[in-house]
Amino acid sequence: MPTVTFLPSYRKIDVERGCTILDAAQRAGLNVNVICGGQGKCGKCVMFVQAGKTSFDLQKYFRFFNEDEIRRGACLACVTSVDGDIQVTIPESSLIQEQKILITREDLPIEFRPSVRKFYVQLQPPSLADPSPDLSRLLWGIQKSGGPVAEKMYAPLEVLREIPGILRHSDWKVTGTIALVPGGYRLIDLQENDTAMRLYGAAVDLGSTTIVVYLWDLVTGKVVGIASNYNKQISCGEDILARVNFARKNGLAKLQALAVESINTALTSAADNAGIDREDIYEVVIAGNTVMTHMLLGIDPAYMIAEPYVPVVRRALSVAASRIGIACNQNCGLFAFPAVSDFIGGDIIADILACGMAEREEISLMIDIGTNFEVVLGNREWMFSCAGAAGPALEGGEVLFGMRANPGAIEKVTIDPTTLAPAYTTINSAKPRGITGSGLIDLLAEMLVAGIIDRTGRINTGIENDRVRKGDHFPEFVVVWERETAIGKDIVITENDIKNLIMSKASVHAACVTLMKEAGVTRHEIATIYFAGAFGNYLDKKNATIIGIIPEIGIDHVRNIGNGAVAGANMALINRSKRKTLDEIAYKIAYIELNAEPSFMEEYTSSAFLPHTDLTLFPAVQEELEATRNHGKE
Amino acid sequence: MPTVTFLPSYRKIDVERGCTILDAAQRAGLNVNVICGGQGKCGKCVMFVQAGKTSFDLQKYFRFFNEDEIRRGACLACVTSVDGDIQVTIPESSLIQEQKILITREDLPIEFRPSVRKFYVQLQPPSLADPSPDLSRLLWGIQKSGGPVAEKMYAPLEVLREIPGILRHSDWKVTGTIALVPGGYRLIDLQENDTAMRLYGAAVDLGSTTIVVYLWDLVTGKVVGIASNYNKQISCGEDILARVNFARKNGLAKLQALAVESINTALTSAADNAGIDREDIYEVVIAGNTVMTHMLLGIDPAYMIAEPYVPVVRRALSVAASRIGIACNQNCGLFAFPAVSDFIGGDIIADILACGMAEREEISLMIDIGTNFEVVLGNREWMFSCAGAAGPALEGGEVLFGMRANPGAIEKVTIDPTTLAPAYTTINSAKPRGITGSGLIDLLAEMLVAGIIDRTGRINTGIENDRVRKGDHFPEFVVVWERETAIGKDIVITENDIKNLIMSKASVHAACVTLMKEAGVTRHEIATIYFAGAFGNYLDKKNATIIGIIPEIGIDHVRNIGNGAVAGANMALINRSKRKTLDEIAYKIAYIELNAEPSFMEEYTSSAFLPHTDLTLFPAVQEELEATRNHGKE
């Protein structure tokens, strides 16, 4: 079998001839970026073949590479197959970048109390004086070793059948695994000898694009591995709507299998890297949005994508992981987060758990922004939630030079108010190729403060500066001159880009205000605003306020929680009492349908300014704008 | 396909050529007596072919029939196969005689509260105003219809997956089946439209020889069918020890499958006769001895047949019936009675439940006699139990003319004290062929009272009467003269028979006394003695006291409960709160190992008299014996 060696890690794997380089990389435990699901369409899985023979379709390459790049070995890993021993370099930009978890166990007063425990017991063999049944003997032994009361434990038939053989074969020295379940404690596994130190659990963020797995040692309470993987469902449709429609046409089986396969790939990668046998994983906690969770469990999501938008189930579910094909111990339990509605899913409940807003008296506002956004407002007594389409602008879509957070993407920008020259940083400090969402927000705020644009987003073409010019269709501002870029042309932002950005931010702000009005809460009463998800990671909080994405509450009170979905899943995994509160949280949250709220459209119109039509809602921004204007006048 | 017509019922069935007549009869729902499991060995399945062609091995017939009988069409149904349309008469003696259930729902203050209920609900379809999830909508509907609180109900994954399709296909009119399980209420089935009247449950007495099934309508609370069947495990061994040894050699799978098949045959027969779809059976309750229950569930019974006699599990078990192959609704639950030890099994716990002794303050003694016996003494506070081998004599084995309760068996006997002529009744009033256990007990008591035997069981050969004579090996008493019998010879009882009977009865009595000593209870404190099982059905209570099987407490306080195993299973099926108490009962019962009690052997020796060495323990018997003796002297 040919050997594929990946650089710079020198990780090696033997694969059959004809295997794609992408498959080889995944089997080697490398988390490659593949948005299109391996169809040669997204151009994310770029690698460089350094030596050895490969087969490929040159036409597909030309969509992404020029001749020079191809000569240097550039290839799309998903459509290039291995023909013999090869050496391949993977640029960092082709690997999935971990989303940071900004809230960790260290930050939170969260006790380590997993719901699965192992007990090693050395039992007295039965005698005429003590002929008690095998099960009682075992359970009393576990109780004596600090386990639950014997009467509250029970063994399912498949474990029961194995008890007599294992007890006698191991000379009455065994390790029992006990899981807390509704109605008692379940003996989910029995092993010969002492395996008590081998007990792991996985927390999974089941995203529609990316799946993130945290592997925990449930004895020591430490993370032993992290892996992520693209969601292979993408081959059935890029967005959720397309996938549900695929399921309506072709049945759910394939999508269910792909979700499981995606999780299994990440799980395997995390376990292999940590040197752990997947058989020792006894618990999986999954936070995903409502459609993803339905699909994973094989529950029809069809009625969620059309009026009246009805999920089959919203409560938390506990099922046998093996029942749906998750590759871990055959008696492993799977816990899926509950949802509020089809738009406020388990991922948002996990965000809420992660930021702790449901435990505090003070009021918090939590915002998760992607192509869609979800907003939750409330405290431990009450909560309101809503969701909507933000459009792709805030993630760099529908913006001429917008791009995702890959090397060469501008992620931070400041503008010299005098020269109007931008200073910027790029990912990996590479030559600029485009601008990320956070870069665009900086740009908008800085252009507003510098007076390059007005509060409606129009570019002040009267300014005498090379960078301000009329483009082919719209006025534009040059962020980076051609000579400094990696793409051989000026990187600009156009008035049309700005319009798209304002439309996006206006939706989010209007949603926040709609919930605040519903709850009768003013911005002064909001103690903290949380950003969840990748969007918040690189966001400049001050600039987010200046352009009016969020209500102005003072930037010290704006926090990013990063990947709250996996953070929440982690918490539910390592502390069983957290899990109990989830259904309560989900039931407490009222869902506001924005399209049914006339005030939302009004507020959207008012929010389509920088930061807002009503500047008294943004006093600090007003002050700054006035200060700068006065400064300009001086 | 040939048609087999069974007389006298004229039940018809089409079978393939080569099918045995036994199989044909079973498929036609007839419960044929087959102790040997269809090997042509026990001679119980005698039938008479009236017309048509059959194939058979004549040699096998000659073991059981004379030429004349064969000419009249006599055949062994299990080794005779169908060669064309035939007509077959089944004598009543070849059908399994139902054991009476002497304790019925009418006798006991038992409420009808099954643990499975159905609810027909007509739901409002979802709307934008009420987009609650399918599951919530359904559960709230069930709650409103009188079901449990929605939050306490849950749906397993397989039902959850069906909910959206069934709700919409049935226009939101559905019937949900809810079962009480540990930790809540489980939605075990969802059907379109109103099926609420179709809800059945089965109570099963899983005996090592015979399986009895009661089919209940769980809506009306009435029995709708009863069926019994021989335990097909018999083909792997006649007694339990042989079957466990078979399992040790060949694995448990075959025995497990045969137990299930036996139950399924009876279940199918009961359901078919009642015109019920087995799919509508949602609950099965099983009472069987410990080895039988282990085998049915596929749990290794190997460690129960040798010291230190350890079962794997004694507590009650709830499993999915489909998990072990029981032919009913795929989500049907199966409840297996708990046990005390490998010798005091679920059948005895069912006896205890049936006689109600665990609920009363007064002390009861419960005795179940077969080849083995079990004795339980106690009240609602405490209980002692023991078990032992009674030997076959009390069931008619090891007695020259002993036989089971088939036609022609003498079941009641009285002896004229003057002429010493016995008067008797036989089963079906047929000409006598032998004597049943109850007949033998009558005989022993009457012979003692008439002075034909003394208290050691020796025959008074000094009596001048034709019936008292020296046999070939032992003195004997002629019960029926040749000319009155169906077998062409005198039916006698020998001194050796009497010795065997006394040994058997002495074991039972010594066991009773051992428990009484253990508990510090005298016969005066025992309020009731219960006989459970077939043995008690025809037993003369006074005679049982005269020969000293049981302590003397006054015959008004001796009761038969008949098939207590199925009666107890019935109670646990129709009243869920009964079921909850079973584990408590089982845990309360102390098990006394008779072989480890020196006093048992002593008491056995004292009990090997009629009724006992110490006549002061049987004052009424003493009085009667003295009265008769004096009468004889007058």
Whether residue B551 is preceded by a cis peptide bond, meaning omega within 30 degrees of 0, is no
C-alpha triplet A138, A142, A143: angle, nearest 5° = 115
Per the structure block, which two tokens stand in for B4? 């087999």
Taking CB atoms and an 8 Å cutoff, what residues of chain A touch B345?
none
To which residue do tokens 């036996």 refer?
A: B262
Q: What is the DSSP letter of B176?
A: E
Backbone angles phi, psi at A38, to 5 degrees: 85, 30
| A177 pLDDT more than 70 | yes
Q: Do B546 and B568 reside in the same domain of the chain?
A: yes
d(CA B346, CA B340): 8
Q: How confident is the model at residue A412 (pLDDT cuts 50, 70, 90)?
A: very high
Taking CB atoms and an 8 Å cutoff, what residues of chain A touch B181?
183
Backbone angles phi, psi at A60, to 5 degrees: -65, -35
Q: How many angstroms away from the CA of A247 is the closest CA of chain B? A: 14
Per the structure block, which two tokens stand in for B243? 């079957």
pLDDT of residue B186: 95
Per the structure block, which two tokens stand in for A70? 């191809």
* CATH number for A322: 3.30.420.480
Taking CB atoms and an 8 Å cutoff, what residues of chain A touch B134?
303, 310-313
Please name the residue of chain A whose CA is at the shortest distance from the CA of residue B298: A161
Per the structure block, which two tokens stand in for A572? 């539910």
d(CA A163, CA A138): 9
Of B157, B181, B310, the CB nearest to A133: B310
Q: Where are the alpha helices (DSSP H) in B589-618?
A: 598-607
pLDDT of residue B163: 97
d(CA A286, CA A364): 24
Taking CB atoms and an 8 Å cutoff, what residues of chain A touch B131?
308-310, 341
pLDDT of residue B99: 56
Q: Of B169, B313, B314, which to mutate for an interface test with A (greatest number of A Cβ within 10 Å)?
A: B313
Q: Do A75 and A157 reside in the same domain of the chain?
A: no
Q: Check A135 against B315: CB less than 8 A apart.
A: yes
Of B131, B297, B319, the CB nearest to A310: B131
d(CA A510, CA A597): 11
Backbone angles phi, psi at A7, to 5 degrees: -105, 150
For residue B617, tell me if it sits in a domain: yes
Q: Do B484 and B611 reside in the same domain of the chain?
A: yes
**What is the pairing mode between strands B558-562 and B526-532?**
parallel
3-state secondary structure of B182: coil
Residues 572-631 of B with CB under 8 A from A: 593, 596
3-state secondary structure of A534: helix
- For the stretch A121-174, pLDDT in tens is 999 999 988 989 999 999 999 999 999 999 999 999 999 999 999 999 999 999
State the burial class of residue B543 (Cβ atoms within 10 Å of its Cβ: 0-12, 13-18, 19+).
Answer: buried
pLDDT along chain B (634 residues), means of 10: 89 91 84 74 84 87 81 89 93 69 59 95 94 95 97 94 97 97 92 97 93 94 88 85 91 95 93 94 97 97 91 95 95 95 94 94 94 94 94 82 83 94 89 91 96 95 94 93 90 95 96 96 96 84 95 92 92 92 92 90 96 95 86 53
Answer with the one of A192, A219, A239 that is the final residue of a domain.
Answer: A192
* CATH number for B149: 3.10.20.880
Answer with the one of B313, B336, B359 that is the final residue of a domain.
Answer: B336
Please name the residue of chain B whose CA is at the shortest distance from the CA of residue A324: B157
Q: Check A311 against B184: CB less than 8 A apart.
A: no
Q: How many angstroms away from the CA of B599 is the closest CA of chain A? A: 18
Please name the residue of chain A whose CA is at the shortest distance from the CA of residue B252: A161
Q: Which of B468, B412, B467 is nearest to B435 (CA)?
A: B412
Size of interface A-B (CB pairs under 8 A): 129
- In this structure, are residues A494 and A476 in contact, taking their beta carbons and an 8 Å threshold? yes
Q: How many angstroms away from the CA of B271 is the closest CA of chain A? A: 27
For residue B197, tell me if it sits in a domain: no
Residues 162-201 of A with CB under 8 A from B: 163-165, 168, 181-184
- In this structure, are residues B322 and B331 in contact, taking their beta carbons and an 8 Å threshold? yes
Q: Do B505 and B378 reside in the same domain of the chain?
A: yes
Taking CB atoms and an 8 Å cutoff, what residues of chain B touch A312?
133-135, 160, 163-164
Q: How many angstroms away from the CA of A61 is the closest CA of chain B? A: 43
Please name the residue of chain B whose CA is at the shortest distance from the CA of residue A132: B310
- In this structure, are residues A620 and A443 in contact, taking their beta carbons and an 8 Å threshold? no
To which residue do tokens 């072709």 refer?
A: A250
In DSSP terms, which residues pair with A317 in a beta bridge? A336
Q: Do B219 and B312 reside in the same domain of the chain?
A: yes
Please state the domain count of chain B.
4
Contacts of B449 (CB under 8 A, 6+ apart): B415, B417, B546, B624, B625, B628
Strand order in the sheet with A589-591: A558-562, A526-532, A363-369, A372-378, A383-389, A589-591
For residue B105, tell me if it sits in a domain: no
Q: Tell whether A305 lies on the interface with B, counting CB pairs under 8 A.
A: no
Q: Check A312 against B131: CB less than 8 A apart.
A: no
Contacts of A626 (CB under 8 A, 6+ apart): none
d(CA B550, CA B543): 10
d(CA A350, CA A344): 11
Looking at chain A, the number of H-run helices and the number of E-run strands are 19, 29
Q: Tell whether B84 lies on the interface with A, counting CB pairs under 8 A.
A: no
**What is the pairing mode between strands A372-378 and B558-562?**
unpaired
d(CA B470, CA B493): 11
- In this structure, are residues B535 and B395 in contact, taking their beta carbons and an 8 Å threshold? yes
d(CA B42, CA B76): 9
Q: Check B128 against A308: CB less than 8 A apart.
A: yes
Q: Do A50 and A33 reside in the same domain of the chain?
A: yes
Per the structure block, which two tokens stand in for A368? 């998760």
For residue A374, tell me if it sits in a domain: no
Q: Do A222 and A322 reside in the same domain of the chain?
A: yes
Q: How many angstroms away from the CA of A187 is the closest CA of chain B? A: 14
3-state secondary structure of B508: helix
To which residue do tokens 């006291």 refer?
A: B545
Taking CB atoms and an 8 Å cutoff, what residues of chain A touch B324?
157
Q: Do B362 and B418 reside in the same domain of the chain?
A: yes
Q: Check A133 against B160: CB less than 8 A apart.
A: no
Q: Do B445 and B551 reside in the same domain of the chain?
A: yes
Q: Do B318 and B366 reside in the same domain of the chain?
A: no
> Residue B457: which region, alpha, beta or left (left: phi > 0; alpha: psi -120 to 50)?
left
Contacts of B144 (CB under 8 A, 6+ apart): B121
Q: Tell whether B314 lies on the interface with A, counting CB pairs under 8 A.
A: yes
d(CA A351, CA B402): 80
3-state secondary structure of A631: helix
Q: Of B132, B158, B160, B592, which to mutate for an interface test with A (greatest number of A Cβ within 10 Å)?
A: B160
Of A126, A308, A317, the CB nearest to B131: A308
pLDDT of residue B406: 73
- In this structure, are residues B461 and B470 in contact, taking their beta carbons and an 8 Å threshold? yes
Q: How confident is the model at residue A634 (pLDDT cuts 50, 70, 90)?
A: very low
| ipTM of the complex in this document | 0.85
Q: What is the DSSP letter of B503?
A: H
Q: Tell whether A134 lies on the interface with B, counting CB pairs under 8 A.
A: yes
- In this structure, are residues B365 and B528 in contact, taking their beta carbons and an 8 Å threshold? yes
Beta strands in A15-55 (DSSP E): 46-51, 54-55
Per the structure block, which two tokens stand in for B132? 């609650």
pLDDT of residue B97: 63
In DSSP terms, which residues pair with A319 in a beta bridge? A334
Q: How many Cα neighbours within 13 Å face the side chain of B506? A: 22
Calculate helix-pair angle for A346-355, A576-588, nearest 10 degrees: 110
Please name the residue of chain A whose CA is at the shortest distance from the CA of residue B303: A164
| A23 pLDDT more than 50 | yes
- For the stretch A52-107, pLDDT in tens is 999 988 888 877 787 888 888 899 998 999 999 999 999 877 777 655 555 555 55
> Mean pLDDT throughout A497-513?
96
Q: Check B319 against A127: CB less than 8 A apart.
A: no
Q: Check B593 against A298: CB less than 8 A apart.
A: no
Q: Check A131 against B309: CB less than 8 A apart.
A: yes
Taking CB atoms and an 8 Å cutoff, what residues of chain A touch B139?
none
Taking CB atoms and an 8 Å cutoff, what residues of chain B touch A334?
none
Residue B121: give the domain boundaries. 116-192
> Mean pLDDT throughout A309-318?
94
Q: Tell whether A319 lies on the interface with B, counting CB pairs under 8 A.
A: yes
Select the highest-mean-pLDDT range: A420-434, A515-529, B83-97: A515-529
3-state secondary structure of A131: coil
pLDDT of residue A407: 73
- Tell me what the pLDDT averaged over chain A comes to: 91
Per the structure block, which two tokens stand in for A222? 């430490």
Q: Do A162 and A285 reside in the same domain of the chain?
A: no
Q: How many angstroms away from the CA of A341 is the closest CA of chain B? A: 8
3-state secondary structure of A417: coil
Of A163, A168, A313, the CB nearest to B135: A313
pLDDT of residue B634: 45
Of B154, B314, B317, the CB nearest to A136: B314
Contacts 24+ apart (CB under 8 A), B598-606: B599/B514, B599/B517, B600/B510, B600/B511, B600/B514, B601/B510, B603/B509, B603/B510, B603/B513, B603/B514, B603/B517, B604/B506, B604/B507, B604/B510, B606/B510
Element (H, E) at A573: helix A564-574
Q: Where are the alpha helices (DSSP H) in B81-215?
A: 134-144, 157-160, 163-169
Q: What is the DSSP letter of A77?
A: G
Q: Tell whether A109 lies on the interface with B, counting CB pairs under 8 A.
A: no
Contacts of B443 (CB under 8 A, 6+ apart): B413, B415, B422, B435, B479, B493
* CATH number for B40: 3.10.20.30
Per the structure block, which two tokens stand in for B214? 């009661």
Please name the residue of chain A whose CA is at the shortest distance from the CA of residue B343: A131
Q: How confident is the model at residue A508 (pLDDT cuts 50, 70, 90)?
A: very high
Q: Check A310 against B132: CB less than 8 A apart.
A: yes
Contacts of A634 (CB under 8 A, 6+ apart): none
Q: Tell whether A385 lies on the interface with B, counting CB pairs under 8 A.
A: no
Answer with the one of A453, A483, A501 that is the final residue of a domain.
Answer: A501
d(CA A617, CA A607): 11
For residue B109, tell me if it sits in a domain: no
Residues 273-302 of B with CB under 8 A from A: 297-300, 302
Q: Check B308 against A127: CB less than 8 A apart.
A: yes
Of B128, B163, B184, the CB nearest to A312: B163
d(CA A363, CA A357): 7
d(CA B153, CA B187): 7
Per the structure block, which two tokens stand in for A482? 């051609």
3-state secondary structure of A445: helix
For residue A361, tell me if it sits in a domain: no
d(CA B120, CA B141): 9
Q: Do A36 and A130 reside in the same domain of the chain?
A: no
For residue B89, tell me if it sits in a domain: yes
d(CA A390, CA A373): 6
To which residue do tokens 């993630």 refer?
A: A395
For residue B108, tell me if it sits in a domain: no
- For the stretch A593-625, pLDDT in tens is 898 888 999 999 999 999 999 999 999 999 999
State the burial class of residue A624 (Cβ atoms within 10 Å of its Cβ: 0-12, 13-18, 19+).
Answer: middle
DSSP string, B39-61: SS-S---EEEEEES-EE--HHHH
